[in-house]
Structure formats: C-alpha cells, structure tokens
Structure 1
Amino acid sequence: MKQLMLLLFIVMISQFSFSQIEISGQVKDQNGPVSFANVVLIDSTKTIKTYDIADEKGAFVLETEKGKYTLQVSILGYQNWEKEVVFESNQILEDILLKRSTEELDEVIIKDKKPLIERKPDRLIFNVENSVAASGGNALEALSAAPGVNVENDGIGMIGRGASRVMINGRILQLSGEALVEFLNSIAADDIKKIEIITNPPAKYEAAGSGGLLNIIYKKGVGDFWKNSTTFAYNQNKYDFYTLRNNFLYNKNKIKLNISVNGDIGNERSIETVETRYPSGPWQTNLDVKKQKDQMSGRLLLDYDITKKTSIGIQYLGNFSQPDRNDRALTNILNNTNTLDSLFRSNGKNNREINSHIYNLHMISKIDTLGRKISVDLDYFDYENKLERDFIVNTFSSNEEFLRINQAQINLSDQLINNFSAKVDVEHPLKLIDLSYGAKLSFIKTENDLQNFNTITGTPELDTGLSNEFEYNEDIQALYVRGSKKINDKLQMQIGLRLENTITKGVSKTLNQTNKNDYLKLFPTFYVSYEKNENHNFSFNYGRRITRPSFRDLNPFRSFTNSNSFSEGNPFIQPSFKDIFEFNYTYKEVLTTNAFLNITSDGYGVLFTADPDNNIQAIIRRNYYDSYVGGIGEIYTFNKISWWESQNQFFIVGYKRSIDNDIDAITRNGVQLYVDLSNRFSLSKSTKLQLDFFYSSKYRGGLYENGERYGLDFGLRQNFLNNDLKLSLYFNDIFDTGSQNNNISEINGVEVVSGQNYSRRFFRFSLSYSFGNKKIRVKKRNFGNDDERQRAN
C-alpha cells in the first residue's frame, strides 16, 4: 500500500501548475481550415514563450501567462501571419485567415540522408535502417553490427565496459544470457529504426547494468501513412535456416498501429573447445552442437490520441520458440607424455519450448505548453522455459573399446519468470532549471524446478540428490530526480540522483535453505558540457551503477555435466558496484577523443576452478575481485565525399584487477588494441555497399588471456521499383577469424585453454517488398513515450 501511495503522490504533485490562461483559435484560408500550421507566441524579449501545432481542423490552444505578445502563424505554401496581442484572461480568437504564397507547392517529398552513426552528448546512435549489414537479419545481428558492441556466445556488452542491459523502446528486458539471445533473435532488424548506445545512463534509467544500456527503437510511421513490408531471408552457415517476416504500419488521425509477425525455421551450428591441463595430463574436449532455429514471434503496438495533449497505448511482444538441439562431445584423456589413455563420448538431445509475453499499457499527457508532461507505464512480463534433456556419456579405452557408461540421465527443467512494474516520469521545466523526476516499482518472481532421472539401468529413476526446486523474489522501489541547466551559450550542466531499495529472497526447497537481502543505495549522475566554439566541444560525465546477480548465479544447486564436471550457484553473492568516469572532446563534429575509467568494487563472476588431485572441474560463482578498466580512443567520421561515408574507431583499453587472497589464480593485467572500421558506399541512388572490419589484439584482462581476433564483413543492397523492392547480400566474418579463441586461465595450478565459434561466419540473402501510402508530408506531429525489463537464466 505504501508503494502504491508513493506512485499516487508522484502523479498528484506533477499536476501542480502556475497560474495560466488559455488562448484558442482556428487557422483558415479562403477554402476552409488549414491543418498543422505552426502557431507561436513571442514575448517582449523576442523569446518564444509557447507554441502549438494546429490540428487537422486548424484548431490550436496556447497556455501562457498574462501579458503582451507577438502572435505568429506560419506554414509552407502560405504567407506568414503576425499580430501584436495583449492577453489578460482566457480568450477565443477570431479566425486567423492565411493567404497563399505566390510560389505554391502542391506536394513536398522529404529526402533525408541520415548518417549510419551519429554521436550525441550522452550516447551513440546506430541507424539500423541505413545499415546494409542488418538488412534481413534480426536484432541480435543488428547489435553485432553496432560500433563498439561485442556480441559473443550468450553475452552482450561494450568493449572495455562489460555486460550491457538491453531495452526495447526504452523498456528494459528482464532477460539475460541465452534467454535474452533467443528473444533478440525473434525481432526483425528491418523493424528497427535505430539503436542507442548509452555508456553512462542518466538517473531516469535503472541503475543496474555496469556496461551501460543498449536501447532498440522501433520504426514509427508519420501522419497519414500506412505501409506493409514483407521480407524473406535465407541464412547459410554449416547448416541453414529460413526467415519470413511481415510488418504493417498504420498512422491516421488519432490512431497509430503497428503489427509485426516473424518466423524462422532451420538450424545453426556451434562449436566449443576446452583443454584442461592437469598435472597428470591434459583433457581435451570438443563439443559440436546442431541447434534448431524454429520460432515465431509477434508484436502489436496501438496508440490513440484521446485529446491533443493526451495519448494512451498498449504494446504486446510475444515469442514462441523451440530451440531443440543435438550435441556430441569427445573428451580425450591424455597422460603426462601426451599419450591417449581413455576417452569420453557423449551424445545429448534437448527438447525445448520457450514462451515469453510482454504487455505494456502507457499514457503520456502534456500538462501545458511550457513543456511539462507526465508519462505512466504499467508492464507485465512472463517467461517460461521447459527443457527435457536426454544424454549419455560412455567411457572408451585408447583403442576405442567400450569400458562402461560414465553417466546417463534425463533432466526435466521448468523455469518460470514473472515481472510486474509500474512507473511514472514527469518533465517539469522551471525558469531556473529543467527538472524531471519519477518513481518506479518492480516485482520479480522466478521459479526453477529441476528433476533428474538416472537412466544407466535403462529404467528412469528419480535422483533426489540431483533434483532441485529454487524460488527467487526481487522487489525494487526507486525514486529519481534530475535537473539540467544551460548556464550560458557555451556551458550546460545536468545532475541526477536515483535512490533504489532492493529486497531479495532466495529459497532452495531441496536444500531447505533461505537467503534474504535488503539494501538501500543512492546512485548519482553528473554531466557537464562546454562548447568553446563551433569547432571545439568538451564534455565530462560521471555515474554510479550496480550489477545484480542473475537468478542462475544465485541458485545453490550443483548440476553435473559428467562425473568429473559440475556447475553450482551461490546464494550469498552480493551485488557489485561500478563508478564510471567519461570525457569527450569533439573537433568539428568529425573527430572525437573519448577517455573512460570504470572502477568496480566487490565484483562477482564465474570461476572455472579445477582439482588437480581428482581431475574435477567446477564452475562456481562468487564475489572475488576489484578492478580498474580504462581506455582512450579516437572516433573519426569521414563524409567529405558524397558517395562514401566512413566511421572509424581506434581504442586502447587497459585492464587491472586484484583478487581475493584465498584464490589460487594468476591475475592477467594488460592492454588491448581495438579497431572498428565501417564504410558505406553509394554506388548509385539504388545501390549501396557496406564494408566493415574489426580487430582485437591479444590481451590480458582479469583471470584470462584472450586470443587475437579480427573479422571482415561485406554487404550489398540493391533497390528496385522506386525502392519498394530491396535485395540484400551479406557475408559475415568472411575468413572465420572473429570468434573467441585461445582464451587462457590458470586456477589452482591448472591451466585451461578454451574457444567458441557460434556460427559467426555466415551468408545471408534477403528480399523485401513494401507497399502503401508513400506521401510523407512536411506537416506532421510526433508522439513519444517509454522505459523497462532484463535478467533471467
């Protein structure tokens, strides 16, 4: 009840306003109403006091204070209208009659060439709709193509900054790891307008996520607009899969509607290698996986303008997938003379079903024409992951003679996640400062039920020692306030504070163990920018972030891969904190110097430990380190040639980590060189070519030494039928050199070398056809909203 009262309090204080009067009227010409005219009220200092855009019937409403003003009305194709006015009370004006200009335009088509990459003071914007690399792909592939974003296996993050959280239209996804990857695979890249890469998010956003935020923004139609797009894509790696998508946009009068349906069918391959170098001899494991891509997803977005100032809307995203897989693993067990002693052969089959649903109800209302507005979001998210895994591990002698069954099991797993959140955001500009504030409540509940059956005898028998029930609840209450001020024409500042109270409870019913946590933390943010002149711009920002452990990390149960390998969670893991410092200097809007420092305290993570006496490998989780990660880089944009646009990033990143004294491990501190080159060529108005290259040097960071990686990508897009038909060809990682390799760590005197390749090299062919109303009018109005969801698995 206290939490609901808090939300009501925020809503109520947002409605307080200064004494205002209301001025209304209608804009016409000799033939009747003039739609979408700009109506501006200017005070005695020649400053715009307030403004409005007339609706379809030419009507407008201005809210202002008493006084003397200049009223101006303008719209393309008409002569400007102006009049001195004095307002003392609410007033309905006589009709404003406009005269057509001598040069009349029947129709205006807007042609805007947006750059592939844009740099803003607090974020980098990757315009996906202009990317050849993303054409016909999905959201995960679009993120992979974004500059500075690293997508590897089940992890998504920024170079040198760590794991990032992902948002959809400003709403955070409560998914991570494999669950997040599966969800992003269901979103069509062709439905995405842009991706915002926010390295140090302001106080409005959740404090979670040490690696910043990646905000995926969907396309939206303009006024009097409808469009339907159908895309077919064929992807080829070791295996192949097919994609069919359809997206419908409708924007007319007060209604904005978007319906999207996507489907995939086929398979992809992943390979993992691990060599564990025990004193008695190395164990070499090769895992080959064939994973099914069958899935169907849908999206519905409906917005309705109740009045000129208030809009409500609903949004639904659903994903239904069956990522079944067949895997084979071979483990060669060698002695200290590198002679084969014995080997494990394992075969596994996963039957899996994943369903997720995201529901959103939102409202945005302009309180007045001074810029004050309020937005409210109610969100509900549910996720279910059902898994049946059947696997067997056989032991053979060095001459391939069968010795025994090492392990045979059937695992039945059911994971349920539910999240409800409610939030209010208020923008409240004042004379001295632009103020915004808000509140949020979030309730997450996850249930994990694992049943393990031993099948060595041929008859499944429940193994209670390897079965587990785990329940986790997390409640977060947050308040934030943010103020920004333009000191003068050169200097701007922004300060924000976010207060979050977190209450968690983890219950292992199998182990009869309960763990609770309750903490209240303050997260400050600070931004300052100084524009010396049009050629030199400086900015600095600071923020504090939190990384909370995932549900899987907290589950104390121990699960075995085979008799010599297991993984277990840790319910006593505490959240880690990161202080982020960032400096930017931009010269002539083409060259940016970026320097950053991230300081992590009480960091937690995964440790791949080994027992050299018993040849047992364990994957454990715990808080064990503090770290410093800093870097400096240059970002250069070349656009001096009309047919060539190039975005180039060069970064040097340094890693320094200190670990707890009780961990017998080698810390590996070092320096990484990272280069990202993206080039887009316009061979003609209808032919675009994209050539991208990245390079990551061999480097030491944390407990690992990471191998050298580089990749070359090539894409070609050809438009036909006045851009209604688009054909794209894309080759990713042509030389198959971009995957993780030669990753080395050493714990307890045992060195482990690993590598992964998750079908990074592939070819994609896509064909997209669009039809609909192609008139894009100059006179239009925009609508905006959003924020919330992430961590599972």
Structure 2
Amino acid sequence: MKKSNLLIFLLLPLFCLAQSTMKLKGKVSNEVMPLEWADVSIFNSEGKIIDGTTTKPDGTFEMNLKKGTYKIGISLLGFSEFEKEIVIEKETDLGTIILKETTANLNEVVIKTKKNTVEQKIDRVVYNVENNISAASGDALTAINAAPGVVVQSSTINILGKGDSRVMIDGRMIELSGEELNNFLKSIAANDIKSVEVIANPPAKYEANGTGGIINIIMKKGMRDSWKNAITLSYDQNKYGIYTLRNSFFYNKNKFRFAFSGNGRIGNTNNTEDLDIYYPNGLWELRDVSKQKENSISGRFSLDYDVSERTTIGFQYLNESYNPDMNSNTVIRIFNNSNSVDSLLVNKGFNNKYSGSQTYNAHLISRLDSTGKKVSVDLDYFSYGSKFDKNFAAKSYLPDGTYQNTNQAARNNSNQDIDNFSLKTDFEFPMKAFDLSYGGKISFIKSNSNVFYYNTISGTPELDPNQSNVFEYQENNQALYIDGNKKWNDKFSVKLGLRLENTQTNGYSQTLHQEVKNDYLKLFPSVYLDYQFNDNHGLNFSYGKRINRPGFGMLNPFRTYINSNSYSEGNPFLKPSFSNNFDLTYSFKKNLSTSIYFNRTTNGYGVVFTSNPEINTQIVTRENYFDENSFGIGESYNAEVTSWFETQTSIYLLGAKTSFISGINAVPSNSEQVYFTTENTFSLSETTKLQLEYFYSSPFKKGLYEIGYMSGLNLAIRQNFLKNDLKLTFLINDIFNTSYLKGYKSIVNGVTQVYSQNESNRFLRLSAVYNFGNKKIKVQERDFGNKEEKKRTGK
C-alpha cells in the first residue's frame, strides 16, 4: 500500500463532517446570583452522555447539537439536580434555570475517593498502583511486577501464560526490550504512575507486535485548577546501598497544563551467578560475583494547551541515562571424570556500560462536533544509544592456587544506536447504532550496531576482524485499523477489530557482506464479547492474533563475550513468530473471577543455551525452534473484606505442549506450573497501613527448559503524617531470599546446563514522600460519578 494512499485515508474524514447543528444556550443561577462551574450534560435517547460543558462566571453555557430529542442534566454540589427533555429543531435558548440549594454553602470541600485496586474492563485489567504500599515507593518496573498476572523475571516482562509483553506509556509504544527496557522503566517513579493496564489481547488500535500482549502505563495528570509537588527520598540496603531522589510537579490552570518530574539514583547492587555445565570430560562449575553500579538520571516534561473548547495541542519529552558499570570476578572450577578438581580458571574483568534514550511527542486532540466525534494525531521520535566496553583476562591455576598461564585476555566493546520516527492518527465516531474508531500509523526504525574484539594477551590491543562487525538494520511499518463497539443492551456488549500491517525489514552485515530482507503483509483480527447476566454474574470472551518480531540485538550475527569460555551471538535470519490467543473469564460480584486461556504460537523463537563439548565453550544463540500450545486456568479474588482489610489473591494452573521445528539437538519436555500470589493490606489506623505480599511459583518444565521453584515474602508498613501530606514507608523485600531464578536447566547436544542468578532481590527500603501545593477541590471544581463518560466527549 502506497504511503500517499494511507495519508488520504487518514485525512478523508476531515472533509466529510459538514453536518447541520443548532445552538443550545441557557443560564444557571440560584435565587440570588449566577452559578459558575455548574455541570451541564446532554444525554441521548439511550441515556448515554454525548456532550457536556460547565457554566461560565456569569452562569451562561452554550453548545452545538444536531436536530433531535435529548435530555439535559444540570448539577452542582450543594444544589438539587435539574433534568429536562428538550427537542432541538432550531437555535434554542432555555433561559434562566434556577437551582435550589440543598445544604448550606461551603467555602471548600475535600472529596476523598478510593478506586478499586483492580478493575475489569471489556478488553483489559486496570491496576491502580497507588493502593500498593510497596510498589508506590519504587519505580515503574516494580509497579508492573505488582499488577495481577504479570511477572518480571530475567529481564523479561510476561503476562502469565502469554510470553514476552510490550510496554507503552500513555498509549505510546516503547521500542525497547529485555534489559534495555527494564533499565528504562527503572528511571520512572511509581509515584508518577496512576495505573497499569494489563491488555492480554490488545484491540486493533494498538500495534500487533508482542505475543505476550501489552502493558500500558498511565501517568498521573494534575487536578483541574491546582498545582502540586511531590518529593520522594528513599534508601535501599542490599549488600550495598542505593539512594534515590525524585521530584514531580504538576500545574493545571484554565487552558494550561504543565508537568515535570526528575529522578536521580546512585549506589550499587551485588549480583551472583552460578552455572554448572556437565561436559563429557567433567563438570565445569562457574561462580560469578559482581558489584554493579545503579547510577541513573532521568526527567519527564509535558505541556498541554487548550487552543479552543474543542482542540488541545501538547508536547512531551522523556530523557534517561543509566550507567550500570560492573566489576566481575568469575571462578570456574574444572573437574575431571573422577569428580576431582583439575584446575581453576579465574576471569576478572570490568564492564563499562552506558545507555540513554530520548523520547519526543507532539500531539493534537480535537472534537469534531457535539456528538463526540474526535480526531487525534501523534508525532513521535525516539532515540536510544548504548555502549558496552569489557576488558577481561582469564588465568589458569592448579587446584592449590599455583599460577599456570594466561588463557585469554581481550577487550570486547559494542555500540548500538536506535532511531524511531512514527506518525499516528486516530478517529473516534460514536454513532446511534454503534461506536466506530479507525486510524493508521506509519513508523520508520533504524538500528546501527557494531562489535569489536581486541586481543590484548600481548599487552598491545590487536583487532580481530573475524570477531568484529558493523551491522545495520532498518524496519518500516505501515498499519491501518478499524474497531467497532456495540452495546446491545445493559447486558451484552460486542467489540470487533481488524488491523492490517505491512512490514519491510533489511539487515546488512558489513563484515560478512550479507544482506537479509523481509517483506510481509498480515491481518490481525480481534474479538471481545461481554455478557452481564445480572449484577452478580458476568462472562467475558476475547480473541486476538499477534506477531512477535525479534529485537534488534537478537539480529546482530556477531558475538559478545560473557567470559573467556562463554559468548552470545545473534541471528540475522530470525523470523517473526505468530500467536492466536483465546481468553474466557467468568466474574462473580466483580470480586471473584475465573479465567481460562489457550494460546497457539507458531515459528516461536528464543534464546538457546548450547555448548560445544569439543572446546568446552558455552554458546548463547537465538533460533526459531518451536511451536507451542499454552493453556491454563486462573482464580482471582479482589475485595475489601472489611473496613480494615483488603486482599488481592490469585492462583493459576498453567501448562504447555511444545514441539521443536528446527534441527536443535534436544528433546522437548513439559509439565504443569502452579503460580500463587497474594497482596493483603491492613488498615491499623487512619494513618497507618500494613501490607503483606507473597508469591510462589512451583518447579516446572516448558519446551527446552526446566525452571526451579521461586517464592517471595514482602512486608511493608506506611505511616502518614501532617494530614497525610508526609508518608513514610518501610519495606522488607524478599525476606527469605528465595525469589531469584534458580534451577534453570537445559540439555542441548547432550550437555546439561543448570543456571541461577540473584540480583540483590532481598533488600530493605526506607522512603519518605512529601506532597504539598494547592490540591484541595473547590465546590465548583468537584468531580462527578460520570467523570469518565464526560472525558470521552471532551477529548
């Protein structure tokens, strides 16, 4: 599809909206004076809000409506509500509408509301972060890990049973994955996050990439006509210490909204890795202890301005830099077949690492008419850069510690630069019969990476061209989508979507003079059915087709060394995998839910830990090597049991059936997995809360890997001071030090490998959050129960 045709398609509706509308106006007053900020809502014949506004300082209001019959509702705190049916056939003036007072006038009132921790919608689960004491004092990665059904493990973010998930911020995709994505999320304060949306089967509006669905982070916005500032200081103690300072400022006045946040972090963590490799001629027992820096700095800036009552323009900027420099000390004990130590191989090295990113967004949101039609345009630019420079030397010793020789000495460095430009347009067209939305997106991604290997065993660096490479990768994507949402009655809702994506990729290795191209056009349907039998019983079904494209680092064919006897290399011939995902959820009283899912993945790719027994070397590769059926059932209970006790508890039974589709020399193996998690909050007083969290994952087998058990117990207590403006939180994370990855086992080429990694999961945290500013809601500025519906008409 040509890009010119795509732009015509996106802009065509702007020329098709000339509709006849009539002006409706009036004035709201009490018996003495006009009333400002009275809420005026217009309902259609089905009782759905289709337009809304607030009265001006002189009590007047006006809006444009098409011909028809409506109901107008006017409300203001402290006054009786006004309702009336109106017929619009010409310009209509309702005159002065008198509201009667129900209570004495108040200068100001503070309204305290508490959202449910977990909210189920037709196409996603919404997790409100502020209700979690321990997560709210951490970062975005902590907040995601606390969301129901989400697990962060070994640099991957997974929705249980789905696979790797993509991450968005305010609906905008972050073009990172793995360790780079995790580092980026650590730069965002959880205190700046309003909620986390878990979208297992994303609608057609969102990109189809990611078999594990999408995690959408919704950032906080400032309250209307107010300003506030929040400052957070925290200290983490593992083996070492980490200091974090964060500050967030929000300003929202009249037509102008501004937000700024900064985040600085300094300190170290202690990381340990254990790897046992059972070669035919004897065991290699690897133990690595490293001290890693956790120094980072980041900032976020956003600005929005209401050009008119219907049009808003805005700009956002995010910046982060991270320096995880690391000293590593790896000791390999080499055993013979008699199980006696033959020799020791000691690898000592220093990893100089840096990563940084910048995100720019410009957007326009405009209401096209009074019926709720809306257009939004987003222009995004994302750049990411990383540097890796490792100097290491491997020395061989006898079992008694006598030095033998220097086995290897080298410098291995790599750089990667990613640039992503995208343009996205979305249209929303609520109609009498159903709600329609459609739009499109074009994106251009370019990634340049290089790897250089220098032999330093002679003391003078010598470039090895056979282990060095420059790799260039480009990916262009054009997409169109259409979504339809129909609420047949109070019980039954249907949402259907279809997304078309056209993708071109080109990977080129300068050293190998090798070019790999792909060009494919794919359709991605989505279906959502929701039926509420009554107030107590509901049923929800969803289906979606997804694609999983390989990350840029996976495609670079050259190697980077982990240590002298272990290296990682990419695969430029990796193809995307596809999945068909089915979910069925039954809910009882919106507190208890039972979910059943089935996913079919074809041409799946992943990391393969293999070995070369002839030279006793571990090789980490990437391959399209499996097809897989995943299935499971989950039970979740989320409720405020008493006024002082709230719980969020889930248990899942998961399983899979895997078949290998490549020439990999291994046998697939599968078993059931039990995953249990519970988060319990106790209100000890009006100002004191205690939170107890626990999770358990049973040992299980899936495809190529066997994974040992994991569990974690966290305890947090929060005390509020100064009318809740100051909050002190004390957290003990992973009390028994059992939440790390262990027993990660694979058997390839007849060689068994067993791996474990502990990244300072157990730590103590003391944090203080102080909020100040003009954050009280005046009478005329209060929120209503239909706030969310009104947002849909005002955007």
Same fold flag (TM > 0.5): yes
**Partner SS state of residue 141, structure 1:** helix
AA matched with 1:129? E
Pairing of 1:170-185 with structure 2 (within 5 A): 170-185=171-186
Q: Which residue of 2 is the match for residue 594 of structure 1? A: 595
Q: How far apart in 2 are the matches of 1:373 and 1:398?
A: 74
Q: Which residue of 2 is the match for residue 267 of structure 1? A: 268
User: Which deviations, in whole Å up to 9, do the C-alpha atoms of 1:407-449 show, x marking residues without a partner?
Assistant: 2112332211100011011111122221110100111101112
Q: How far apart in 1 are the matches of 2:37 and 2:192?
A: 28
Q: How far apart in 1 are the matches of 2:429 and 2:353?
A: 48
1:681 and 2:655 are equivalent in the alignment: no
Pairing of 1:609-648 with structure 2 (within 5 A): 609-648=610-649
What is the CA-CA distance between 1:32 and the residue it aligns to?
5.5
Change (3 A) 1:621 1:68: closer
Point out the more displaced range, 86-95 or 479-488: 86-95
Asked if structure 2 preserves the Cα contact closer than 8 Å seen for 1:133 and 1:145, the reply is: no
Q: Percent identity among equivalent residues? A: 47
Q: How far apart in 2 are the matches of 1:116 and 1:141?
A: 16
Q: How far apart in 2 are the matches of 1:102 and 1:674?
A: 52
AA matched with 1:51? D
Q: Which residue of 1 is the match for residue 438 of structure 2? A: 437
AA matched with 1:495? L
Q: Which residue of 1 is the match for residue 359 of structure 2? A: 358
1:779 and 2:778 are equivalent in the alignment: no
**Partner SS state of residue 735, structure 1:** coil
AA matched with 2:665? D
Q: How far apart in 2 are the matches of 1:70 and 1:187?
A: 44
Q: How far apart in 2 are the matches of 1:398 and 1:128?
A: 53
**Partner SS state of residue 143, structure 2:** helix
Pairing of 1:231-246 with structure 2 (within 5 A): 231-246=232-247
Q: How far apart in 1 are the matches of 2:641 and 2:530?
A: 27
Q: How far apart in 1 are the matches of 2:68 and 2:133?
A: 54
What is the CA-CA distance between 1:215 and the residue it aligns to?
1.1
Asked if structure 1 preserves the Cα contact closer than 8 Å seen for 2:223 and 2:775, the reply is: no
What is the CA-CA distance between 1:597 and the residue it aligns to?
0.7
Change (3 A) 1:457 1:171: same
Asked if structure 2 preserves the Cα contact closer than 8 Å seen for 1:226 and 1:772, the reply is: yes
Change (3 A) 1:775 1:20: same
Q: Which residue of 1 is the match for residue 298 of structure 2? A: 297
What is the CA-CA distance between 1:388 and the residue it aligns to?
2.2
Q: How far apart in 2 are the matches of 1:198 and 1:379?
A: 22
Q: Which residue of 2 is the match for residue 118 of structure 1? A: 119
AA matched with 1:211? G
1:540 and 2:536 are equivalent in the alignment: no
Q: Which residue of 2 is the match for residue 791 of structure 1? A: none
Pairing of 1:408-427 with structure 2 (within 5 A): 408-427=409-428
Q: Which residue of 1 is the match for residue 731 of structure 2? A: 730
User: Which deviations, in whole Å up to 9, do the C-alpha atoms of 1:753-787 show, x marking residues without a partner?
Assistant: 111111111111001111111312453578979xx
Q: How far apart in 2 are the matches of 1:711 and 1:84?
A: 58
What is the CA-CA distance between 1:27 and the residue it aligns to?
3.5
Point out the more displaced range, 82-91 or 178-187: 82-91
Point out the more displaced range, 611-620 or 327-336: 611-620
Q: How far apart in 1 are the matches of 2:292 and 2:281?
A: 35
Pairing of 1:337-348 with structure 2 (within 5 A): 337-348=338-349
Pairing of 1:452-531 with structure 2 (within 5 A): 452-531=453-532
AA matched with 1:705? E
Q: Which residue of 1 is the match for residue 746 of structure 2? A: 745
What is the CA-CA distance between 1:29 and the residue it aligns to?
4.8
What is the CA-CA distance between 1:10 and the residue it aligns to?
1.4
Q: TM-score, normalised by structure 2?
A: 0.95
Q: How far apart in 1 are the matches of 2:584 and 2:453?
A: 52
User: Which deviations, in whole Å up to 9, do the C-alpha atoms of 1:116-144 show, x marking residues without a partner?
Assistant: 33333322222111211113211112222
Q: Which residue of 2 is the match for residue 308 of structure 1? A: 309
Point out the more displaced range, 19-28 or 138-147: 19-28
What is the CA-CA distance between 1:103 and the residue it aligns to?
4.2
Change (3 A) 1:138 1:84: closer
Q: How far apart in 1 are the matches of 2:262 and 2:131?
A: 22
Pairing of 1:95-114 with structure 2 (within 5 A): 96=97, 98-101=99-102, 103-114=104-115
Pairing of 1:570-719 with structure 2 (within 5 A): 570-660=571-661, 662-719=663-720
Q: How far apart in 1 are the matches of 2:504 and 2:46?
A: 53
Asked if structure 1 preserves the Cα contact closer than 8 Å seen for 2:226 and 2:253, the reply is: yes
Asked if structure 1 preserves the Cα contact closer than 8 Å seen for 2:639 and 2:646, the reply is: yes
User: Which deviations, in whole Å up to 9, do the C-alpha atoms of 1:367-398 show, x marking residues without a partner?
Assistant: 12212111111100011112222111112222
Asked if structure 1 preserves the Cα contact closer than 8 Å seen for 2:65 and 2:88, the reply is: no
What is the CA-CA distance between 1:82 and the residue it aligns to?
5.3
Q: How far apart in 2 are the matches of 1:49 and 1:212?
A: 31
Change (3 A) 1:704 1:283: same
Q: How far apart in 2 are the matches of 1:749 and 1:594?
A: 39
Q: How far apart in 2 are the matches of 1:565 and 1:346?
A: 11
Q: Which residue of 1 is the match for residue 132 of structure 2? A: 131
AA matched with 2:782? K
What is the CA-CA distance between 1:675 and the residue it aligns to?
0.4
What is the CA-CA distance between 1:292 and the residue it aligns to?
0.6
Q: How far apart in 2 are the matches of 1:38 and 1:15?
A: 32
User: Which deviations, in whole Å up to 9, do the C-alpha atoms of 1:503-537 show, x marking residues without a partner?
Assistant: 00001111111111000000000011111111110
1:395 and 2:429 are equivalent in the alignment: no
Asked if structure 2 preserves the Cα contact closer than 8 Å seen for 1:49 and 1:64, the reply is: no
1:225 and 2:220 are equivalent in the alignment: no
Q: How far apart in 2 are the matches of 1:79 and 1:681?
A: 38
Q: How far apart in 1 are the matches of 2:89 and 2:344?
A: 92
Q: How far apart in 1 are the matches of 2:69 and 2:134?
A: 55
Point out the more displaced range, 614-623 or 506-515: 614-623
Change (3 A) 1:233 1:71: closer
- Ranked by relative contact order (alpha carbons within 8 Å, sequence separation 6 or more), the top structure is 1
Q: How far apart in 2 are the matches of 1:668 and 1:15?
A: 58
Asked if structure 2 preserves the Cα contact closer than 8 Å seen for 1:41 and 1:70, the reply is: yes
Q: What RMSD over aligned residues (CA atoms) do the two structures have, in Å?
A: 2.1
What is the CA-CA distance between 1:90 and the residue it aligns to?
3.9
What is the CA-CA distance between 1:251 and the residue it aligns to?
0.9
Q: How far apart in 2 are the matches of 1:430 and 1:688?
A: 46
AA matched with 1:755? S
Point out the more displaced range, 107-116 or 370-379: 107-116
AA matched with 1:716? I
User: Which deviations, in whole Å up to 9, do the C-alpha atoms of 1:480-523 show, x marking residues without a partner?
Assistant: 00101122322111110000001000011111111110000000
Q: How far apart in 1 are the matches of 2:628 and 2:83?
A: 62
Asked if structure 2 preserves the Cα contact closer than 8 Å seen for 1:7 and 1:423, the reply is: no
What is the CA-CA distance between 1:145 and the residue it aligns to?
2.2
AA matched with 2:372? G
Q: How far apart in 2 are the matches of 1:14 and 1:340?
A: 76
Change (3 A) 1:759 1:19: same
Asked if structure 2 preserves the Cα contact closer than 8 Å seen for 1:38 and 1:51, the reply is: no
Q: How far apart in 2 are the matches of 1:425 and 1:611?
A: 52
Gap regions ≥5 residues in structure 2: none
Pairing of 1:134-173 with structure 2 (within 5 A): 134-173=135-174
Q: How far apart in 2 are the matches of 1:761 and 1:752?
A: 26
Change (3 A) 1:563 1:720: closer
Q: How far apart in 1 are the matches of 2:319 and 2:706?
A: 40
Q: How far apart in 2 are the matches of 1:302 and 1:429?
A: 28
AA matched with 2:267? G
Q: How far apart in 1 are the matches of 2:702 and 2:384?
A: 34
What is the CA-CA distance between 1:272 and the residue it aligns to?
1.1
**Partner SS state of residue 181, structure 1:** helix
Q: How far apart in 1 are the matches of 2:510 and 2:181?
A: 27
Q: TM-score, normalised by structure 1?
A: 0.95
**Partner SS state of residue 134, structure 1:** helix
Asked if structure 1 preserves the Cα contact closer than 8 Å seen for 2:654 and 2:672, the reply is: yes
Q: How far apart in 1 are the matches of 2:21 and 2:589?
A: 43
Task: Give the total of aligned pairs.
Answer: 784
User: Which deviations, in whole Å up to 9, do the C-alpha atoms of 1:589-613 show, x marking residues without a partner?
Assistant: 1210000011100111111112223
Change (3 A) 1:160 1:69: closer
What is the CA-CA distance between 1:190 and the residue it aligns to?
1.1
Q: How far apart in 1 are the matches of 2:740 and 2:74?
A: 59
Q: How far apart in 2 are the matches of 1:204 and 1:221?
A: 26
Gap regions ≥5 residues in structure 1: 786-793
**Partner SS state of residue 9, structure 2:** helix
